[in-house]
Amino acid sequence: MFRFLARSLGLILLAAAFVGLVIDGTRSIANGAVSLTPLGEVAFRLFPRSFPLIEPAVTRHVHPLLWDPVLLSFFLVPASVLGFVLGALLLWLGRKPEEPIGYLAGR
């Protein structure tokens, strides 16, 4: 069940990353310069009410140093690249186990 879920989510992430890459490519061609959509912008578009509440929650409850160097850098990663990496990782985790070649000699 876990392998099916991992493969399905991996394929969905790969498809979404490809769509994001096509959108970024057309925007780059139209602008005449390379422009990639950062993860923070995608998260803000998906969760417009709750995304701005992340910073106060992290700085108040966890640690302020976690917000500035770590999470701000994470939110600047291109969303399509992160989707490709996570999709490939989930597809790799959900792959079928390799069958052994030959026979066991210890029996």
pTM higher than the cut 0.85:
no
The predicted pLDDT at position 107 comes to: 59
State how far the alpha carbon of 17 is from the alpha carbons of 23, 35, 42, 99, 105, in Å. Answer: 10, 15, 12, 31, 46
pLDDT one-digit tens code per residue, 26-68: 999 999 999 999 999 999 999 999 988 888 888 888 877 888 8
pLDDT one-digit tens code per residue, 59-68: 888 877 888 8
